[in-house]
Chains A and B, each alone.
Chain A
Amino acid sequence: MGEVILDVRELTTKYVTRFGENVYAVDHVSMEVEEGKSVGIAGESGCGKSTLALSLMGYYFPPLHYTSGDIIISGQKITDMTPDEVRKTILGQEIAYIPQAAMNALNPTQKVIHFIENVFDAHKMGMSSADVRAKAESFFHAVGLPPEVLDRYPVELSGGMKQRTVIAISVILSPQVLIADEPSSALDVTSQKMVIKMLRQLMDKSYIKSMIFITHELPLLYNVVDDIMVMYAGQIVERATAKEVVLTPLHPYSQGLMGSIMVPEAGLRDVKLTAIPGVPPNLKKPPSGCRFAERCKYVRPACTAQAIPLRDVGGGRSYRCILSPEELSEAHAREVYSQHVH
C-alpha cells in the first residue's frame, strides 16, 4: 500500500446558473488516491464526472462554487488555502488537469513554447528561457513529439499532436496527481486507449505519481486502471477495484453500465444499444431517496424513503444501495442470463 497522495472528504460543489439556481453536480464525494495508483471514474454523460475533476483542483471560478468538504494533497489542505496560493503552489505542481476537449485546450494564437514559458513564469520558477526550453524538449520527447512542435501554433498541429502536447505540458511541473477527462464522443475508443497508455508510461517513468482517468466507457477502464468509481447524479454509487466493478458490479447502475460484458460475443451490440432506459434526474432538484430509483429494475418502496448511504463491504469496496451484495449479484446473474437467452 502506497502513501495517500490525494484525500478528498465529503466534497460538495455546485454550479450557480444564470437564473440563480443551484446545481449540485458533486455531492459529498469522498475518495483517496494512493501513490502509484490509477483511478477511473465512470458514468453517463451529465452525471458530474467533469465537475468532479474541476472540483478536485481546489481552484474555483464561476459558475462553479465550492460548498463544503476537504481536499488534502500531499498533506496540504488546499480547501483552506487562498485561491492565489492554490494557483501558485498547487496547480500544475501538485495536481494537473487534462481537459475533456484537449483539442481546444491551447490558445490558438500563441506558440506552444510561449505558453510553456507563461506556465513557468506563473509559478515563479525563476528559470531562464533556455532552461525552460530544454525541459520542454525533454518532456515533449517523452510523449514522442519532435522539438519543432514548440515553435508551432496549435493550428499547425494535428489532433493527435495537440493531444500529446497538452499531456506533455500538463506533466511538465511533475504533478503528484494527474486528472485526465476524456470526452464521451469526440475521440474514438482506440485513441482513448492510446492516451491511457501514454499516461501509464508517464507514471511508470515517474513523471507523475498517480492519475485519475475519467470516461463514460466503463468497460474501457478494465485492465488500465487499478480502481474504479462509478458516479451517478453527482454521487459516488460504487467504488471497488477495476476487476470487481467490471466483472461483478454491485450497484444496479454499474450493472447497467456494464451491459453485456458477461456475454462477450452473442448479441453484444443489441444489449449495448438498449443501455439503461430513462434519463438521470434533474440535479437542480435531486430526489431525496435513491437517485437511481426511478430507473432501477429492482426498485422497492424503501428506496425512495430516505437518502441511501454508501455501504462499505470491506476490501476497499463500497456501494450505495439498500440491497445486500448477495441479492444484487444474484439479480445481476439472472438478468444476464435472461438477456443471453433472448
Chain B
Amino acid sequence: MKHTLRQVFRSGKFVTGFIIFSAILLTVIFYPMIIRDDPLQIIGQGTFFPPGIYVNIADSMSSTRYILNLDDAAAKRIASKLNDADREAIREWLVGAGIPEGDIDIANTESLLGLWVSNYDTTVRIPGMTNADRNYYIRLNRSLDGLLSEEGVTIAATNPDTNALEATGTVELTEYANIREVANVRILPLGTDNFGRDVLTQLVTATGVSLRIGFVAGLIATLIGLVLGLVSGYIGGVVDDVILFITNLFTVIPGFILLVLISFSIGQEQRGAFVIAVVIGLTSWVWTTRAVRAQVISLRNRDHVNLSKLSGHSIAHIIIRDVLPYIASYVIMAFILQISSAILAEAALSILGLGPRTTDVPTLGLMMNWALIYQAHILGKWWAYLPIILVIALIAFSLNLMNTGLDQVFNPALRD
C-alpha cells in the first residue's frame, strides 16, 4: 500500500495533475474565507466591466492630495486619448490638407497636435473624404480640445439657495490621491459579467459547485458501476447475461440523450444542481461496469480467490477481502474520469438550456451559458468566458493527468 503510493507519487504525470487539482481545490476552499463577498450580488450597473481596480471618484477627490511633478504625466494623458489609429487619421487629414509628409511625425505627440490645432478647420474639404469621415474628424477634434492645456479642473456644486453653479474647488493636473487612503476601492481582477456580478468571486464559487456536482455524479456512477460489475463478474450466469445485456445497450444508446431527455422532463422547478448531478451519475455508469466486470472475471479464478472459496468464506468476505483490493485501482481511475466528465456534462447541459435552474448558486456551465447568451465572446469580453473555459480545461486536464499517471503505475505494459 505504502509502496504503491510512493510509486504513484513518483509518476511525473500524476504529480503534475495532483498539484494542479490541489491548487484549484485549495483556491475553492480558501478564497471564500478571505474574500467574503456574495458571489451572486449584482454590483455593477451595466454589463461586462473590464478587469481592473475600481476607485471611487468622489472619495479620491476628498482624500489627501499630494503634488507629484511627473514629466511624462501629460504625455501619458494624451496617449490614453490619442491612439495609433487616431494619429494615422490625423496624418491623412494633414496630408490631404496639403502639409508636406516630411513635416509630420506621428510619433511626436506635441508636434502632431501643434500641426493639427493650427491647421484643422471643419470647413476644409479634403478630396475623397466621406461624410462619415468628416464627422469622425469633428469628434476627434473635440476630444483633443484642451488636451494640451495645463490648467486644472474646476469642481462646481449647485448652491441650494440660489440654484446657481458655484465653484467649490479645483483639481490640479499634478495632484494625486494615495489609493490606500481612498475609502472605496474594489478590485475586480476579472471584471463583471453581464449582470454586473464579480466574475472572479463567482467563478470560484461556481468551480466549487461544479466540483461537487462532479463528485456526487462520479460517486453515484462509480457505485452503480462497481456493484453491477461485481455482481455481474463474480456471480456470472444469468445475472451476468442480464447485466451485460443492459450494459451493452447503454453503451450504444448515447447516455447524453437520456441526460437531455431526463433533464428536460424533470421540469424547471426540480432542476437544482444536486438533481442534475444525480441525473448525470445515473446515466454514466456504463464504463465503470464494463471495467469492473472485466477485472472481476479475470480475478474470479485466481488462486487466492479459489483458496478463499475453499476455506468457506462468505461471498461478501471474498469480495471485500480478495476481489476489491485488486480492482481498487481501476475503480479509482474510473471515479476520477467520471468526475471530469460529469463537470463537462453539466456545462454542456447548461449551454443547451437544460442545466441547473437555480438562482442560489452559480455553476461553471451556467456562467458559460450566460456569457454566451450575452455574446461576451463576440463582444470581446474575454474575462467573462475565457477563465471559465480555462478552469474547466484545467480540471479535466489535471484529472486526466492523474489518471494517466495511475494507469502507468498499475498497467506497466503501457510504458510511458
Binding site for B on A (CB under 8 A): 18-19
User: Secondary structure at chain B's binding surface: helix, strand, loop or mixed?
Assistant: loop
State in angstroms the CA–CA spacing of A18 and B416 once bound together. 8
Interfacial residues of chain B within 400-416, with CB under 8 A of chain A in the complex = 415-416
Q: How far is the CB of A284 from chain B (nearest CB, A)?
A: 14
Residue of A nearest to B408 (CB): A18
Which residues of the partner chain A approach B415 to less than 8 Å between Cβ atoms? Answer: 18
Interface size of B by Cβ–Cβ distance < 8 Å? Answer: 3
Closest CB pairs A-B (n = 3): A18-B415, A18-B416, A19-B10
Which residues of the partner chain B approach A18 to less than 8 Å between Cβ atoms? Answer: 415-416
Residue of A nearest to B412 (CB): A18
State in angstroms the CA–CA spacing of A19 and B416 once bound together. 10
Q: How many residue pairs bridge A and B at CB < 8 Å?
A: 3
Which residues of the partner chain A approach B10 to less than 8 Å between Cβ atoms? Answer: 19
Binding site for A on B (CB under 8 A): 10, 415-416
Q: How far is the CB of B24 from chain A (nearest CB, A)?
A: 28
Residue of A nearest to B416 (CB): A18
User: Secondary structure at chain A's binding surface: helix, strand, loop or mixed?
Assistant: loop
Which residues of the partner chain A approach B416 to less than 8 Å between Cβ atoms? Answer: 18
Q: How far is the CB of A19 from chain B (nearest CB, A)?
A: 8
State in angstroms the CA–CA spacing of A336 and B130 once bound together. 113
Which residues of the partner chain B approach A19 to less than 8 Å between Cβ atoms? Answer: 10
Residue of A nearest to B415 (CB): A18
Q: How far is the CB of B88 from chain A (nearest CB, A)?
A: 57
State in angstroms the CA–CA spacing of A19 and B7 once bound together. 12
State in angstroms the CA–CA spacing of A115 and B416 once bound together. 29
State in angstroms the CA–CA spacing of A18 and B412 once bound together. 11
Q: How far is the CB of B415 from chain A (nearest CB, A)?
A: 6
Q: How far is the CB of B414 from chain A (nearest CB, A)?
A: 11
State in angstroms the CA–CA spacing of A18 and B7 once bound together. 13
Q: How far is the CB of A222 from chain B (nearest CB, A)?
A: 28
State in angstroms the CA–CA spacing of A18 and B10 once bound together. 12
State in angstroms the CA–CA spacing of A18 and B415 once bound together. 8
Residue of B nearest to A63 (CB): B415
State in angstroms the CA–CA spacing of A162 and B415 once bound together. 27
State in angstroms the CA–CA spacing of A61 and B415 once bound together. 15
The 3 sampled A-B contact pairs (Cβ below 8 Å) are A18-B415, A18-B416, A19-B10
Residue of B nearest to A19 (CB): B10
Residue of B nearest to A17 (CB): B415
State in angstroms the CA–CA spacing of A327 and B415 once bound together. 47
State in angstroms the CA–CA spacing of A19 and B415 once bound together. 11
Q: How far is the CB of B401 from chain A (nearest CB, A)?
A: 16
State in angstroms the CA–CA spacing of A161 and B10 once bound together. 44
Q: How far is the CB of B301 from chain A (nearest CB, A)?
A: 15
Q: How far is the CB of B6 from chain A (nearest CB, A)?
A: 13
State in angstroms the CA–CA spacing of A267 and B10 once bound together. 46
Residue of A nearest to B10 (CB): A19
State in angstroms the CA–CA spacing of A266 and B415 once bound together. 46
State in angstroms the CA–CA spacing of A247 and B10 once bound together. 47
Q: How far is the CB of A18 from chain B (nearest CB, A)?
A: 6
State in angstroms the CA–CA spacing of A18 and B414 once bound together. 12
Q: How far is the CB of B71 from chain A (nearest CB, A)?
A: 57
State in angstroms the CA–CA spacing of A271 and B415 once bound together. 38
State in angstroms the CA–CA spacing of A19 and B12 once bound together. 10
State in angstroms the CA–CA spacing of A18 and B413 once bound together. 12
Q: How far is the CB of A238 from chain B (nearest CB, A)?
A: 32
Q: How far is the CB of A244 from chain B (nearest CB, A)?
A: 36
State in angstroms the CA–CA spacing of A18 and B12 once bound together. 11
State in angstroms the CA–CA spacing of A18 and B405 once bound together. 13
State in angstroms the CA–CA spacing of A18 and B13 once bound together. 13
Q: How far is the CB of B37 from chain A (nearest CB, A)?
A: 47
State in angstroms the CA–CA spacing of A313 and B416 once bound together. 47
Q: How far is the CB of A286 from chain B (nearest CB, A)?
A: 21
Q: How far is the CB of B16 from chain A (nearest CB, A)?
A: 16
Q: How far is the CB of A15 from chain B (nearest CB, A)?
A: 11
State in angstroms the CA–CA spacing of A201 and B416 once bound together. 43
State in angstroms the CA–CA spacing of A18 and B409 once bound together. 12
State in angstroms the CA–CA spacing of A164 and B44 once bound together. 80
Q: How far is the CB of B15 from chain A (nearest CB, A)?
A: 14
State in angstroms the CA–CA spacing of A241 and B10 once bound together. 46
State in angstroms the CA–CA spacing of A19 and B408 once bound together. 13
Q: How far is the CB of A65 from chain B (nearest CB, A)?
A: 16
State in angstroms the CA–CA spacing of A19 and B412 once bound together. 13
